[in-house]
Amino acid sequence: MANSIDYSQIDYSHWTRRQAAFRAFVLFLIRLLTRIQVEGEENIPATGPLVLAPNHIHMLDIPVIFGYLSRRTVVFAADKWQKNPFFGPLLSFFGDAIYVSRGVPDRKALALAQDVLKAGGVLGLAPEGTRSRTGGLQRGRTGVVYLANRGNALILPVAAFGQEKAFACWLRLRKVPICLRFGTPIHLPAGKLRAPELDAHTDELMMALARMLPSEYRGVYADRFSGEGEQYADAAD
pLDDT at site 228: 56
Q: Given this model, what pLDDT does residue 147 score?
A: 96
Encoded amino acid at 16, one letter: T
d(CA 52, CA 30): 20
pLDDT at position 104 is 65
Question: Could you give phi then psi for residue 77, rounded to 5 degrees?
Answer: -140, 145
Does some domain include residue 15?
A: yes
Please state the domain count of the chain.
1
pLDDT at 106: 81
CB 199 within 8 A of CB 137: no
Whole-number pLDDT of residue 92 = 80
In a domain, 135, yes or no: yes
Q: Does some domain include residue 209?
A: yes
Residue 128 has a CB neighbour count (10 Å cut-off) of 23
Give every residue of the chain whose pLDDT is below 70, as ranges.
Answer: 1-3, 85, 103-105, 226-237
pLDDT tens for each residue of 38-71: 999 999 999 999 999 999 999 899 899 999 998 9
State how far the Cα of 53 lies from the Cα of 183, in Å rounded to an integer: 10
CB 52 within 8 A of CB 122: yes
Please tell me the predicted confidence (pLDDT) of residue 222.
Answer: 95
Asked if the structure places residue 82 within a domain, the reply is yes
- Distance set, CA 93 to CA 112, 122, 137, 158, 214 (Å): 17, 16, 28, 22, 33
Residue 61, domain member (yes or no): yes
State residue 79's pLDDT score: 82
- CB neighbours of 177 closer than 8 A, spacing ≥ 6? 34, 35, 36, 37, 162, 165, 235, 236, 237
How many CB atoms neighbour CB 2 within 10 A?
Answer: 5
Domain contains 78:
yes
DSSP string, 104-142: S--HHHHHHHHHHHHTT-EEE--TTSS--SSSSPPPPPT
Amino acid identity of 36? I
pTM for this predicted structure: 0.91
CATH code for the domain of 186:
3.40.1130.10
Which structural domain range is residue 150 located in? 11-161+171-224
N-to-C CA span, the chain? 42
Q: Is residue 237 part of a domain?
A: no
* pLDDT value, residue 183: 97
With respect to residue 139, please indicate whether it lies within any of the assigned structural domains: yes
